[in-house]
């Protein structure tokens, strides 16, 4: 077994161990027996959850080190490598804060977050490739790792903020304020669900081994679809290859062509992915609402937070953001600007990734200002941590994959 295969297997093991850790933490919360046994039950399953979480992180570190050895450079140069590194940092931060707080609910929300990010990363090409010239710098180690480390604290802050909102939202209340809070919580949880649905869709269709390839006349350009092409590229740009299936389960594909304003060989494919993900997420969400979550996903998850001190969750969320903020400022801005000066001869170029990194920094600056100077505690603070991490994820994923710029290579 070569290093690359061993590395991939280590990541797969890490993924499943994170999930087992998640179930351990969840069972410590919801599987209590009688009141006399509750304390022993919680302590025992907390240890199990932490043990599997630690094993998951060690397997994750093994993946990182062996891939580094196989590639000959630090594995943070593309979307697959960066997202798996971010998940590893989230795992580390979760373990550190669990040892600090001994709070099982933190593990119950953080371990699936790490697993989801690993699954999302695995959607992207994972072949070990040499560094492109733009990334052949020691600043790759400094800038990217520091930025990801800071973002891992934002992720834990997001988990703690979301737990606070679930804990404090009154699902029995009928007033307008409670209804609004429940509605927006459902939106956030649906976004998280859509990421899971996207990963399941891609892996499911990949398992069939069927792809749909659109090419231009001389085959110099092509767009490869893993999901069946409900929406195909504009025929003036690309047409379905003769070697590709022209139907899916008896349905002729593509059903429609992408609108004329969608330019570029990958625009239609991305639109097709959005349609698949949105439709299947809506179906899954509707099914859950009709069966196990009639009052909403938030109502189900809120039961896990019963007994938690909202003030502790609020303080935990704030502390993680306060630690991650200066780390991200160093990695995401200062070190990035120094590297930009060395690579491109200027500190700032209005590149989309630079702009959105600055937006992340300014948003968390506003968060700290509003909390410390204006007294924005509790629900207001929690919503800011949730919104902030959604901005972080858009910066990492949306900017790389949708908006073209100097950092576009990260989405390859």
Overall average pLDDT of the 82-103 stretch:
89
* Per-residue confidence (pLDDT) for residue 412, from 0 to 100: 41
Is residue 383's pLDDT more than 70?
yes
pLDDT in tens, 209-260: 889 999 887 777 888 899 999 998 888 788 888 888 889 988 888 989 888 7
The number of angstroms, rounded, from the C-alpha of 147 to the middle of its chain's C-alpha atoms is 15
Is residue 3's pLDDT more than 80?
yes
What is the spatial distance between Cα 274 and Cα 267, in angstroms, rounded to a whole number?
A: 11
Is residue 90's pLDDT more than 50?
yes
* Per-residue confidence (pLDDT) for residue 238, from 0 to 100: 86
* Per-residue confidence (pLDDT) for residue 34, from 0 to 100: 45
pTM: 0.86
Overall average pLDDT of the 102-122 stretch:
87
Is residue 345's pLDDT more than 90?
no
Is residue 408's pLDDT more than 90?
no
Is residue 186's pLDDT more than 80?
yes
Overall average pLDDT of the 367-391 stretch:
93
* Per-residue confidence (pLDDT) for residue 400, from 0 to 100: 63
φ/ψ of 240, rounded to 5, equals: -65, 130
Binned at pLDDT 50, 70 and 90, residue 386 comes out as very high
* Per-residue confidence (pLDDT) for residue 193, from 0 to 100: 92
Is-contact 106 30, C-beta < 8 A? no
Overall average pLDDT of the 123-152 stretch:
83
Is residue 308's pLDDT more than 80?
no
Is residue 174's pLDDT more than 80?
yes
* Of 3-17, 134-148, 249-263, highest mean pLDDT: 3-17
223 forms beta bridges with: 214
* Per-residue confidence (pLDDT) for residue 18, from 0 to 100: 95
Flag the least confident range among 132-136, 153-157, 293-297, 373-377. 132-136
Give the full edge-to-edge strand order of the sheet including 222-225.
222-225, 212-215, 239-240
* Per-residue confidence (pLDDT) for residue 407, from 0 to 100: 52
Overall average pLDDT of the 250-274 stretch:
84
Is residue 17's pLDDT more than 70?
yes
Is residue 411's pLDDT more than 50?
no
> Which residue would you say has higher pLDDT here, 37 or 270?
270
Closest among 258, 260, 252 to 232, alpha carbons compared: 258
Is residue 1's pLDDT more than 80?
no
Is residue 36's pLDDT more than 50?
no
* Per-residue confidence (pLDDT) for residue 340, from 0 to 100: 78
* Per-residue confidence (pLDDT) for residue 392, from 0 to 100: 92
pLDDT in tens, 67-82: 999 888 888 888 899 8
Overall average pLDDT of the 142-170 stretch:
91
Overall average pLDDT of the 140-149 stretch:
89
**CB count in 10 Å sphere of residue 28:** 23
* Per-residue confidence (pLDDT) for residue 42, from 0 to 100: 75
Is residue 367's pLDDT more than 90?
yes
Binned at pLDDT 50, 70 and 90, residue 101 comes out as confident
Query: Average per-residue pLDDT in the chain?
Result: 86
């Amino acid at each position: 077994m070569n290093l690359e295969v061993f590395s991939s297997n280590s990541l797969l093991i890490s993924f499943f161990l994170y999930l087992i850790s998640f179930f351990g933490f969840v069972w410590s919360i919801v599987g209590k027996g009688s009141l006399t046994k509750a304390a022993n039950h919680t302590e025992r399953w907390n240890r199990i959850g932490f043990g599997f979480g630690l094993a998951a992180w060690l397997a994750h570190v093994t993946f990182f080190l062996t891939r580094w050895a196989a590639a000959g450079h630090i594995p943070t140069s593309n979307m697959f490598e960066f997202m798996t590194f971010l998940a590893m940092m989230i795992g580390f931060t979760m373990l550190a804060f669990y040892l600090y707080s001994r709070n099982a609910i933190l593990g119950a929300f953080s371990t699936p977050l790490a697993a989801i990010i690993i699954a999302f990363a695995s959607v992207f090409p994972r072949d070990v490739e040499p560094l492109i010239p733009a990334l052949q710098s020691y600043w790759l180690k400094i800038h990217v790792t520091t930025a990801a480390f800071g973002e891992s604290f934002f992720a834990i802050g997001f988990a703690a903020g979301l737990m606070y909102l679930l804990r404090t939202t009154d699902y029995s209340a009928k007033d307008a304020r409670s209804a609004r809070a429940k509605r927006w919580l459902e939106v956030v949880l649906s976004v998280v669900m859509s990421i899971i649905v996207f990963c399941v869709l891609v892996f499911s269709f990949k398992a069939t081994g069927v792809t749909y390839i659109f090419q231009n006349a001389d085959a110099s350009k092509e767009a490869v679809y893993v999901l069946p092409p409900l929406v195909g590229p504009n025929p003036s740009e690309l047409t379905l290859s003769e070697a590709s299936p022209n139907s899916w389960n008896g349905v002729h594909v593509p059903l429609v062509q992408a609108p004329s304003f969608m330019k570029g060989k990958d625009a239609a494919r991305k639109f097709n992915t959005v349609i698949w993900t949105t439709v299947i997420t809506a179906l899954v969400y509707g099914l859950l609402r009709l069966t196990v979550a009639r009052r909403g996903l938030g109502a189900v998850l809120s039961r896990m937070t019963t007994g938690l001190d909202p003030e502790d969750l609020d303080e935990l969320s704030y502390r993680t953001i306060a630690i991650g903020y200066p780390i991200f400022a160093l990695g995401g801005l200062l070190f990035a600007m120094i590297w930009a000066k060395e690579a491109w001869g200027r500190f700032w170029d209005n590149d989309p990734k630079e702009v959105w990194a600055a937006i992340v920094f300014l948003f968390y600056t506003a968060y700290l200002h509003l909390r410390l100077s204006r007294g924005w505690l509790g629900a207001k603070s929690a919503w800011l941590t949730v919104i902030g991490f959604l901005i972080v994820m858009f910066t990492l994923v949306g900017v790389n994959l949708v908006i073209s710029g100097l950092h576009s290579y990260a989405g390859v």
